[in-house]
Amino acid sequence: MKRKQRRLVLIGVAGVILFSAVGLMLVAFQDNIVFFNSPSDVVANGVAPDKRIRLGGLVQEGSVERVGDTTVKFAVTDTASRIPVVYTGLLPDLFREGQGVVTEGKLGADGIFVADTVLAKHDENYMPREVADALKEQGHWMAEDQTQ
């Protein structure tokens, strides 16, 4: 083989290795990507029972119920829809009714979201943009710099 042919073969092999590595990374990431959903999105689109999602919104007033030492039942709402949530573990200090929250877990076949992670909002910058936008559209959440 001539020098030019060896170089082309080397470039071709390197390209195949690069595309294979990128393909493997995309397949690996596909299983670990968690998409954000509001309660209205979950109700409207439905979610497969084994699919891992992030559910965000406000903790519905009057919905927090403690069951035992570490299990808590509450509802996440975007004021249009609500999803009941069960979480076992320690809640963040800022978790309370009427406060923004993002939960991560799976929706059960019975319609109850089983969360394994709960994040409480500590300021308007912490809430995911999708949650803030959904609440702003419905007029239930205002940033401090907004006036109406």
pLDDT, one tens digit per residue, over 46-68 is 877 778 888 888 899 999 999 88
- pLDDT of 84 reads 94
The CATH number of whichever domain residue 71 belongs to comes to 2.40.50.140
> The domain containing residue 132 runs over which residues?
34-137
Residues 42 and 26 in one domain: no
Q: Is residue 144 part of a domain?
A: no
Residue-wise pLDDT for 73-118, tens only, equals 999 998 888 999 999 998 888 888 888 899 999 988 888 999 999 9
- Secondary structure of 64-117 as H, E, C letters: CEEECCCEEEEEEECCCCEEEEEEECCCCCCCCCCCEEEEEEEECCCCCEEEEE
- pLDDT of 32 reads 63
Q: Is residue 145 part of a domain?
A: no
Angstrom distance (rounded) from CA 89 to CA 116: 8
Q: Is residue 100 part of a domain?
A: yes
| Total count of domains within the chain | 2
Per-residue confidence band for 7, with pLDDT thresholds at 50, 70 and 90: very high
Phi, psi of 26 (to 5 degrees): -65, -40
Q: Mean pLDDT over residues 5-28, rounded?
A: 93
Residue 16 has pLDDT above 90, yes or no: yes
Residues 77 and 87 in one domain: yes
Residues 19 and 76 in one domain: no
